[in-house]
């Protein structure tokens, strides 16, 4: 009886301690967050801190609630006067997308700053954990990050070791642009068992010619679908039946809006790419 009572008391104290710690984290967490990237906004909502965001930049459109957040800038820069007026207690920057001189000014003003700039799929989970710790949402962030890592590994294990498929990723059409292994998008191709035909190009996003593409004998053509990049559809690949991808009708349009944004949702778009590449294996 005494042992059972002691066990129950220990569990109760542990629960109270955990609740007290969680409450303390909530009270001491930032209440006014400015997130200077669409992916940071999405991550904050995912971990339960979205209601603390007081400003962001353009194209932060997920989830639906994010569309009502005041916008104080875009890829050209942020209006620092508006940022200062909002009195944030945390600014989440994006070193890969914000202007460097403005980031330096924000830091110089004395604001608490955390940078979120995932450059790989694994870094998405790292960024989630960092944001969770900074916002008092650590437990939820850890769970979401772990679920993401598990999902990523499952997709990778499922497709990565299947027969390689020569894959051409058309990033842009005028001029024709693709990606090399230096681009983070290349991870989707390799983890899906694809072989990026321009992986060894010297730059991350090289300009190429139709002649270059014909020489690759690509078996799949991936053209990301986005309202902002409809010019892709102006290029008529049907004229080039010499390409196996065209001959066998393996031209696909993955969802660029999700695929190009480093958030947990990217797994759905990655699965889509893997399935599209997999369809071409029947013609190998």
pLDDT reported for residue 41: 98
Angle at 272 between CA 170 and CA 275, to 5 degrees: 95
Domain made up of 160-283: CATH architecture: 3-Layer(aba) Sandwich (3.40)
Asked if pLDDT for residue 14 goes beyond 80, the answer is no
29-149 matches 160-283 in fold: yes
Is the model more confident about 94 or about 15? 94
Span 203-230, average pLDDT:
89
pLDDT reported for residue 233: 54
**Rounded CA separation 284/274 (Å):** 16
List, for residues 104-147, the tens digit of each pLDDT value: 999 999 999 999 999 999 999 999 999 999 999 999 999 999 99
Angle at 214 between CA 249 and CA 194, to 5 degrees: 60
pLDDT reported for residue 174: 83
> Mapping DSSP to helix (H, G, I), strand (E, B) and coil, where does residue 164 land?
coil
CATH, domain 29-149, list 3.40.50.1980, 3.10.20.520, 3.20.20.370, 2.60.40.10: 3.40.50.1980
Is the model more confident about 62 or about 14? 62
């Amino acid at each position: 009886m005494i042992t059972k009572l002691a066990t129950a008391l220990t569990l109760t104290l542990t629960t109270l301690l955990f609740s007290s710690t969680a409450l303390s984290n909530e009270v001491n967490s930032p209440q006014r967050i400015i997130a200077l990237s669409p992916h940071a906004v999405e991550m904050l909502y995912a971990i339960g801190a979205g209601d603390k965001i007081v400003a962001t930049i353009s194209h932060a459109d997920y989830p639906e609630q994010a569309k009502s957040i005041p916008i104080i800038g875009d890829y050209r820069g942020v209006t620092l006067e508006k940022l200062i007026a909002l009195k944030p207690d945390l600014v989440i920057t994006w070193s890969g997308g914000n202007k460097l001189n403005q980031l330096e000014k924000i830091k110089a003003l004395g604001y608490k700053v955390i940078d979120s700039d995932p450059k790989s799929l694994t870094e998405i989970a790292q960024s989630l954990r960092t944001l969770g710790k900074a916002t008092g949402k650590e437990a939820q962030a850890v769970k979401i990050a772990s679920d993401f890592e598990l999902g990523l590994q499952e997709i990778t294990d499922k497709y990565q070791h299947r027969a390689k498929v020569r894959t051409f990723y058309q990033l842009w059409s005028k001029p024709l642009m693709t990606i090399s292994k230096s681009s983070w998008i290349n991870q989707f191709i390799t983890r899906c068992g694809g072989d990026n035909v321009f992986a060894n190009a010297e730059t991350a996003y090289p300009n190429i010619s139709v002649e270059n593409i014909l020489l690759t004998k690509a078996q799949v053509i991936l053209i990301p679908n986005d309202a902002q990049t409809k010019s892709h559809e102006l290029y008529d690949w049907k004229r080039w039946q010499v390409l196996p991808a065209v001959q066998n009708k393996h031209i696909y349009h993955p969802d660029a809006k999700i695929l190009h944004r480093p958030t947990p949702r990217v797994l759905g778009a990655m699965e889509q790419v893997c399935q599209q590449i997999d369809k071409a294996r029947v013609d190998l």
